[in-house]
Structures are given as structure tokens and as C-alpha cells.
Amino acid sequence: MVRFPPILRRWMTLLVIVFVVLFVGSRIIVVMNSPSLYYYDEEEIQEGLWDGLLQLIQYNEEREESAPLANEISSYRSLQWSLIQSRKVEALSLTEDEQTIQIHLPGWDFTEYANPPEEQIDNTKEEFTFSDETRATKLPKMKYPVQNRFPIIIWWTPFTGHKHIVRQCGHGRCLFSHNRELKDHTKTRALMWYGTDLKFKDLPLPRQSKHDWALLHEESPKNNWPIVHKPIISLFNHTCTFRRESSYPITLQYLPSMEYLTAPLLFDVLEKNRFISEQGLAPVLYVQSDCDVPSDRDRYVKKLMEYIKVDSLGKCLHNKDLPDEYVDPLTMDKEGFHKIIAKYKFTVSFENAVCNDYITEKLWRTLSLGSLPIYMGSPSVQDWMPTTKALILANDYPTVEALANYIKFLDENDDEYEQYFDFKNPGKITNSLLKNTMKSRTWGVDDIEQENFIDGFECHVCDRVFEELLADAKRQKPPTFQANDSHYGCPRPQPAVPGMKMDNSLRSWVEEFDTRSAVIAKATQQMVKSGANSSRVLNDFIKKVFSEMKSNNFDHNHYENELVS
């Protein structure tokens, strides 16, 4: 037997100890930083967690081009977290409504796993691999036990970070999934869309009578005009939009809190006057980089510049540079950018489209920072203002020159100017609609202690699904949920400056509204109602609608005289 010298044996022993310590320490760190695999009893591992996780990856990352794995590890952990949270919710006691449905409706059992579908997807085929082809991994055959227990609601346009999660809502639990393969599952009761991503050649057809359709769109129609037309919006049962008439309204989506609105002025009127005289600031600020929009705001501001000095710091009508660190639009929430706005006495706060209740951060941020908004956008904006005197409405003035003259008057009369910020003082907000809406809303803005309106809308749809199931269970007439054009409708674009002829940009928006989007809306409605098996036939219905329009002597250029610049 070979014996090493004592000094060598001591060094070898030390190296072994160091190696063991490093190995154990690294494993402890990994475990501490990994999501727990236990949700109730540390002795009970979550049965089916990994099965569901692998199945999710297969369905959502390999078969769905609309939801690729941007980052495999983070997506994997997100899926794992969703499943863990789902198992916690699964373990909750049945709600009263779940018990009623379970007793009276055959096929519904919220307490036990039902038998998995007889046909299981064979994941051992070559095509079922991770999106990273260099690390392709064949997946074993798995199943979804959870999908047989709860009402299923599918995001047809994946919009949340939780690709497969069970949520506890007011009436009971629903499974929210990005998995389109569940479309024909017996438990699927609703499908959801995010408006920007809604594609009319990608609809789940034929539409099943038991399927509710839900639309979430907090933006203006600028990026998907057909939605504004009645034939499209009427296809939906549940809506979450800026309109107060929608089934889950989010009109105040850009107002975080009343405290945000009443935040103290960063600079008083005397300091703002000094910025004008010493730093050469204009009285009026305009910061927009989204140019030539449907509201026609750029042409209005260009006309305003003929009568009063305006600093335009964005790409639109640019005449003054921002500091380099704030050129990127993503920096607009930074404190330094906010201080730039707060220095100006007035800020042009025009929306990109004119729709009732469409009120964005362009207005709320300006009010919060203490720059007086010059506003054009929602015709109903005064319904939501803290007082009757909190902004300047451009449409209140017959001409741009008249507006400019009033701005000059306020610029020269500090006492009159300061009255517009009276709402900043304690107890001075007089608008009960604003106060009551903010007090009663169940979601928050940038508040980790509250759910956001996306989560809230998910539960809104889930609760309505339960209302329908409960009506069936009690042999009652089911509730009718039907959207209409008041849930989203916006008027035809028109020149922002009264009497001004349309330019090429505005003409294209009007043509989009009057012709293309209107035809798509009508054709889509006809396609869905016809019972078509695929939305790929949309072009056939578009041709049919155009043919009907021609037979009715429709003149594609019926407003040609109006379009001449």
C-alpha cells in the first residue's frame, strides 16, 4: 500500500473538505433561489407539476408561433411558478356556487381529477422539441389533469405572463391558458383577445354557442380600426375598454391615485416665469414623437405656433432638443423628464385619437406635474376632471388664434393662471364621479399590492361564466351578455383645425375608417354568423361585401371633393 508523506496527506484532506463545502453550499444556494415545489405539506410533492410543465412547454412553445420562448430559463420558471400557484388555488374549499354547479350540472366536479382525455398527444415525435434546436429534447407523453375540473378560458392572443394558471375569482375558480389546443375541450367556456393583436383571419371558427368572446383593448383604435365598427364589437360578450359603458371599464387606467393627482407643484408660477426669462423657455411645451395621428394634432399645433412660442421637444414639429438621456420615449417616466415638463406653464396634451373617455397619461401626468394642459381628445373629459377649471379645452375656442390669445392672457396674469391648480389644495376636488370611481375600483396602477386591470378583467369574465353555469344549474334563463358600439365606438377622424382641408395623412385615416375597416368589420361578422369553419375564407366575404356595396351604387370616392387639400 502506497503511503503519501504526511504533509501531502494533509493537503489532500484539506482539498477534499473545501470541495465538499463548495458543492454543498452551491446546492443550498440553488435550492434557496428556486421556486418551492411544495404548496401545503412539505411531505407532499405537487403531483403532476412537472407533467403539466412539460406539456405547457410542448403546447405553447413548440406549436404556438405566437408565444415563442424568448428566454427558455425565465419562461420555464414562469410556467413553474404558475403551476405552483394553480395548485394552491386548487386546494381551496369549494365556493357555494361551485357546490351548486357540481350538484346540478352533469360533468362538473371541482373536487377530484376527472379521467384524462382518452386521446393524448404523442410528444415523442420529432417536431415536439424546444425552440432552441441546438438543445432539442424529446418530451414524454403527458396529460393535463387540471383542465378537466374548472371552466377554461383561453387567451387566443397570448397577453399575460401566466400561460396556464388557475385563478380564484368571486364565484369560483377558472383555468386561464394560452393553449389553443383546448379550444374544443368540453370545459372551455370563453376566449379572450387583446385588441391590438386581434387578427380577423385568425379566429376560432366555427364559433361554438357555449363560447363567450371577450375583448380587452385599452388603446385607441389607431392600431386596429375595425374594432370601432358595430359588426365587430357586437361579436363580443365581455369588454374591457376605456369607455365607461364597457362591461369592465378602465377609463382611469392612467391615473394611479388621487394622491398622484394632487401632488404638490414642483415649481410655482414665479419660478416658471423665471425659467421663461432666464432659460429662454417658451410658455408652451409640446412633446410628441408619434406623428400624423388620426386626431390631426400636429397640424393644430403647427397652426398654434404661428401665434405663440411653443417648444416642441419630440420628433413631431421638432424645434428644440431634449437632453440626450431623455430622447428615448422609454425615459418619459423618469424624474428628470418630469422636471422638464413641470418647468413649463402650459403643455399641449392632445390624444392620438378622439374617443369618449379615452384619456391617457398625456393629461394626467401634466396635471400631476403642475403644467396647465391644453387638451384635445375625449369629448367627455370634463366628466372626469377634479374641478370644472383644471384644463384648457382647445375645442372651446372658435379659432386657433383665439386659443393662443387666451393662453397669452393667462401667461400674463398669474392670479388667473393659479386658479387652475386650486384642486391641488386639500378638500378642493369637487368631482364626485372621479372620487367615487377611484374609491370603488378594484384594481390598481403600478401598485404591487393590488391586482391590475388585466387580472381584474380575467376574473370578470370568469364570474360571468359562472353566472351562466349557475343559471343552467338552477334551470333559469341565462343572463345575456352582449357588447355594442358604446363599448368602444369612436367617431370618424376629422381635421383638428375647424375649416382646414385634409392632408394626405388624415385622408388615409378617413379612408381607413370609411372603407377598409368598415368592409373588414362587416365581412368578419358575416363570416362568423355563417358558421364558416375557418377564418381563412375572410377574403371571400370581403369580396361579397364589396359586391353588395357596388350593387347599392356605392361610390368609393363619394367624398372626393372633401379630400382635396
What phi and psi, each to the nearest 5 degrees, are found at residue 211? -90, 120
Please tell me the predicted confidence (pLDDT) of residue 121. 39
Which helix (H) or strand (E) segment is 88 a member of? helix 72-90
All cell numbers assigned to 408: 397669452
- Name every residue whose Cβ is closer than 8 Å to that of residue 337 and which is 6 or more positions away in sequence: 322, 326, 331
Interatomic CA distance for residues 69 and 77, integer angstroms = 12
- Reduced to 3 states, what is the DSSP secondary structure of residue 392? strand
Interatomic CA distance for residues 353 and 378, integer angstroms = 8
Interatomic CA distance for residues 11 and 6, integer angstroms = 9
Q: Which DSSP symbol is given to 10?
A: H
Interatomic CA distance for residues 78 and 60, integer angstroms = 13
Interatomic CA distance for residues 187 and 211, integer angstroms = 10
Please tell me the predicted confidence (pLDDT) of residue 33. 44
- Reduced to 3 states, what is the DSSP secondary structure of residue 467? helix
Please tell me the predicted confidence (pLDDT) of residue 23. 66
Q: How far apart, in Å, are the Cα atoms of 69 and each of 75, 81, 129, 141?
A: 7, 16, 12, 21
Judge if the upstream peptide bond of residue 206 is cis by omega within 30 degrees of 0. Answer: yes
pLDDT tens, N- to C-terminus, the chain (565 residues): 556 676 666 767 777 777 777 766 665 554 444 333 333 333 333 334 444 444 544 444 444 444 433 344 456 666 677 777 887 888 889 999 999 999 999 989 888 654 444 444 343 443 333 344 433 343 333 344 566 789 999 999 998 888 889 999 999 999 999 989 899 999 999 999 999 999 999 999 999 999 999 999 999 999 999 999 999 999 999 999 999 999 999 999 999 999 999 999 999 999 999 999 999 999 999 999 999 999 999 999 999 999 999 999 999 999 999 988 887 777 777 888 999 999 999 999 999 999 999 999 999 999 999 999 999 999 999 999 999 999 999 999 999 999 999 999 999 999 999 999 999 999 999 999 999 999 999 999 987 778 899 999 999 999 999 999 999 999 999 999 999 999 998 999 999 999 999 999 999 999 999 999 999 999 999 999 999 999 999 999 999 998 887 766 554 443 323 222 2
What phi and psi, each to the nearest 5 degrees, are found at residue 440? -95, -15
Alpha helices (H) in 305-360, listed in sequence order: 335-343
Which helix (H) or strand (E) segment is 190 a member of? strand 188-194
- Reduced to 3 states, what is the DSSP secondary structure of residue 348? strand
Among candidates 89, 81, 92, which has minimal Cα distance to 37? 81
All cell numbers assigned to 493: 377622424
Q: Which DSSP symbol is given to 204?
A: -
All cell numbers assigned to 356: 369618449
pTM above 0.85, yes or no: no
Q: How far apart, in Å, are the Cα atoms of 133 and each of 33, 58, 60, 430?
A: 28, 14, 16, 61
With both helix axes pointing from N to C terminus, report the angle between 361-369 and 335-343 in degrees, rounded to the nearest 10: 70
Supply the DSSP string of 19-66, one letter for each residue: HHHHHHHHHHHHHHHSPPS-SS-TTS--TTHHHHHHHHIIIIIIS-TT
